Structure 1
Amino acid sequence: MFTVAVLISGTGSNLRALLEAATDPEFPARVVVVGADREADGLLHAERFGIPSFVVPWRGAAERAEWGEELHRQLQVWQPDLVVLSGLMRLLPPDVVAAWSPRLINTHPAYLPEFPGAHAVRDAIAAGATRTGASVIVVDDGVDTGPILAQERIAVVAGDDEHLLHERIKPVERRLLIDVVRRIATGELQLAPTV
């Protein structure tokens, strides 16, 4: 069975969608562990689905390398075939990226390369964009600069604020993530090195 580790920072809505998809016996992948950089609400999803979890607390940028080493050690215990960053709001240290990429993917609430970074939805609104989107990418050493695996456009409509737009993006992000994981697990989508 193709195995997946998921790393989160928040509520884990993408994680929950992936866990639900994996309950289908026909889905070709299983989440084997969930990790977080803090005691995130999303860890409850792992508990409800009987998935082991771990927390490697973020201690600040000065200790980023040590944090990355511990995160890498935790992942090595499980030897997942794929690592999914699903709302992990930390940049991984280069050594961690090098160890796992291209088997390291991320979801992003924008149509990359438009609006990279932590505030993509806010940035789209501020720029007066009429369209944004959702993307799934391979993680590299940049900020949302890795190869694009899937993406879809979403219209920005009159009256959208950051919250409303983000709520419309999330279901698309979840659908794209589930499809990308399925295609990687079946071999339909091949991951090429990012270097």
Structure 2
Amino acid sequence: MSTKKRTAILISGRGSNMQSLVAAARAPDYPAEIVLVASNRPDAAGVAWAVEQGLPTVIIDHKGYGSRAAFERALQSALDTHHVELVALAGFMRLMTPEFVAHWQNRMINIHPSLLPSFKGLHTHEQAIAAGVKIAGCTVHYVRPEMDAGPIIAQAAVPVLSSDTAETLAAKILKVEHRVYPAALRLVAAGQVCCEGEKIVISSEVSQTNPLYSPVI
């Protein structure tokens, strides 16, 4: 019997981070198994990709529900059907109710394209350039009811050059997202991450050569 953590990926768009997680999970020693891809948008490009890969998929169109809670009940039903143990948000553009987040406390993770707590919300790359920062990056964190909040599991940084635009910065950050998210999910699924209050403690067994420990890429 497999001991891999049964993991669902939630998407709203093309799902490029989903693809990186799926690729990582194909390794025999990876501790998470992708058992479901769920989208709240029927036109999400990532759904077609997931179907092509033979992954179980479900579309739960949030527009078909009268409330956020009703949508989440349908989503939870799908997660229960597939016996999901961990949830990874990969460009999932819906805020969760406190009740749903509490149900998945420390079992639901997200990736955000900034070095949180800086530049929450949308247009993160424009925010970074407008602020004149010299380092930007991405953050993997446990989900909390507040937007883009929660204990930080992993971060990776890239330099911001004077010649960078929002588009070039986004492309640089996306490359490191595709490395850091699978590495972070590996740690979570392997039980090498724990929360002490609202701070993360990573097992001392984790090698310092892990991608999570590359501060500037």
Fold match by TM threshold 0.5: yes
Partner residue in 2 for 1:85: 89
Instruction: State the SS of the aligned residue for 2:62.
Output: coil
Which of 129, 136, 140 lines up with 1:136 in the alignment?
Answer: 140
Instruction: State the SS of the aligned residue for 1:27.
Output: coil
| 1:25–1:136 CA distance, 2 compared to 1 (3 A) | same
**Does the 8 Å contact 1:101/1:193 carry over to 2?**
no
Which segments of 5 or more consecutive residues in structure 1 lack a partner in the other structure?
A: none
CA distance in 1 between partners of 2:160 and 2:80 (Å): 41
Instruction: State the SS of the aligned residue for 1:75.
Output: helix
Moved over 4 A (4+): 191-194
Instruction: State the SS of the aligned residue for 2:193.
Output: coil
CA distance in 1 between partners of 2:113 and 2:106 (Å): 20
| 1:164–1:18 CA distance, 2 compared to 1 (3 A) | same
CA offsets, 1:72-109, max 9 Å, x none?
22112122221001100111122211111210000000
Which of 40, 61, 64 lines up with 1:57 in the alignment?
Answer: 61
CA offsets, 1:17-65, max 9 Å, x none?
1111111112121100000110210112211221111111122996222
Partner residue in 2 for 1:37: 40
For residues 170-181 of structure 1, the aligned pairs below 5 Å read 170-181=174-185
Partner residue in 2 for 1:21: 24
Which piece of structure 1 moves more, 155-164 or 28-37? 155-164
Specify the code of the residue in structure 1 equivalent to 2:103. Answer: A
Question: Post-superposition shift, 1:112?
Answer: 0.4
Partner residue in 2 for 1:8: 11
Question: Is 1:96 paired with 2:100?
Answer: yes
**Does the 8 Å contact 1:29/1:182 carry over to 2?**
yes
CA distance in 1 between partners of 2:49 and 2:33 (Å): 14
Which piece of structure 1 moves more, 84-93 or 183-192? 183-192
CA distance in 1 between partners of 2:188 and 2:138 (Å): 18
**Does the 8 Å contact 2:114/2:120 carry over to 1?**
yes
For residues 102-117 of structure 1, the aligned pairs below 5 Å read 102-117=106-121
For residues 151-162 of structure 1, the aligned pairs below 5 Å read 151-162=155-166
Which of 162, 165, 169 lines up with 1:165 in the alignment?
Answer: 169
Question: Post-superposition shift, 1:139?
Answer: 0.2
